[in-house]
Amino acid sequence: MEFTTGQIRALEVYKEAWALMKPEFWPIFGIVIVGMLVGSVVPIVIMGPMMIGVFYCLLEKVDGRPASFDRLFKGFDQFGAGLTIALMIMLPIFAFIFLVYIPMIMMTIYGQRLSQEQLLPLIGGFLLVELLLAVVMTLLHSLLVFAFPLIADRRMGGFAAAKLSAHAAWANKGGIAGLFGVGILVVLAGYMLLCVGVYLALPVIMMATTVAYRKVFPHSEQNLIVSPPPPDAYLGL
């Protein structure tokens, strides 16, 4: 079996993630925020490789090594794989936004020509369609939750990482649902801190995702991210 099941317990994952990152919170905060800011310079195209780089750094911490900026741009070594996953995630979002605006435009154009009896069912239909699309997008993003970490950890191609992530996430759907649920609570708590706390919440959520990934895809010699030895490692030999 390429992955484990039943290992994700959302609250425990978040507690473990916080315990790991607490001693190095600000460096990890910097890695995540810089990665996302740089990735947003050219949306989709750069975001994929930068997210891989972020997970390179976070996996270092989860696997017992200090998190550092050194690997943040390492994701460009797998540029094509990162771009593939970014397209899978972002294109449905753009399609959803486009489909949301269509009803608004139609209601603006035809709303005054329709009676209340005609307008209410139309609005209800639009809302139902948008709700279904939102559910589909949430499911899609949940299935791809491990795609970027897989590329960082196992040097997988984009489609292979997406396929394996989907299998693993579906096999652990209860744990993934709990992980997303706690993540929503963390974001809401961030919004309560005058919205600034959202930026503090993002590194916690991403670290929790990395911890959950390592529970589903245990550490092994085959997928070990090897850090080079320090320059003075062999001075005594």
* Exposure letters 31-62 (e unless 16+ CB within 10 A, then b): bbeebbebbeeeebebbbbbbbbbbbbbbbbb
> Is pLDDT at 131 greater than 60 in this prediction?
yes
Q: Are 202 and 37 in contact (CB under 8 A)?
A: no
Q: Rounded to 5 degrees, what are φ and ψ at 72?
A: -60, -35
Distance CA 13, CA 223 (A): 21
In a domain, 72, yes or no: yes
In a domain, 138, yes or no: no
Residue 163: per-residue pLDDT: 94
In a domain, 158, yes or no: yes
Residue 62: per-residue pLDDT: 94
The residue-averaged pLDDT of 125-139 equals 74
Distance CA 54, CA 206 (A): 9
For the ranges 150-154, 185-189, 213-217, 220-224, the lowest mean pLDDT is seen at 220-224
Residue 208: per-residue pLDDT: 96
Residue 35, both tokens? 């990665």
Q: How confident is the model at residue 106 (pLDDT cuts 50, 70, 90)?
A: low
Q: Does the CA dihedral 33-224-86-213 come out positive or negative?
A: negative
In a domain, 232, yes or no: no
Residue 91, both tokens? 């294109």
Instruction: Look up the pTM and report it.
Output: 0.81
Residue 68: per-residue pLDDT: 84
Percent of the chain with pLDDT over 70: 79
Q: Write the CB contacts of 187 (distance below 8 Å, at least 6 apart in sequence).
A: 198, 201, 205
Quickly tell me which residue has 């196992």 as its tokens: 154
Residue 103: per-residue pLDDT: 65
In a domain, 156, yes or no: yes
Helices (H), 111-225: 116-143, 147-154, 158-171, 173-192, 197-216
Q: Which residue segment(s) compose the domain that 14 sits in?
A: 10-99+145-216
In a domain, 39, yes or no: yes
Q: What 3-state class would DSSP assign to 217?
A: coil
Q: How many CA atoms lie within 13 A of 146 on its CB side?
A: 31
In a domain, 45, yes or no: yes
DSSP state letter for 233: T
Distance CA 136, CA 26 (A): 35
Q: Write the CB contacts of 15 (distance below 8 Å, at least 6 apart in sequence).
A: none
Mean pLDDT across the chain:
83
Q: What 3-state class would DSSP assign to 91?
A: helix
In a domain, 157, yes or no: yes
pLDDT in tens, 150-208: 999 999 999 999 999 999 999 999 999 999 999 989 988 888 876 677 888 999 999 99
> Is pLDDT at 26 greater than 70 in this prediction?
yes
Instruction: Tell me how many domains the chain contains.
Output: 1
> Is pLDDT at 237 greater than 60 in this prediction?
no
Distance CA 10, CA 178 (A): 5
* Exposure letters 79-99 (e unless 16+ CB within 10 A, then b): eebbbbbbebbeeeeeeeeee
DSSP state letter for 229: P
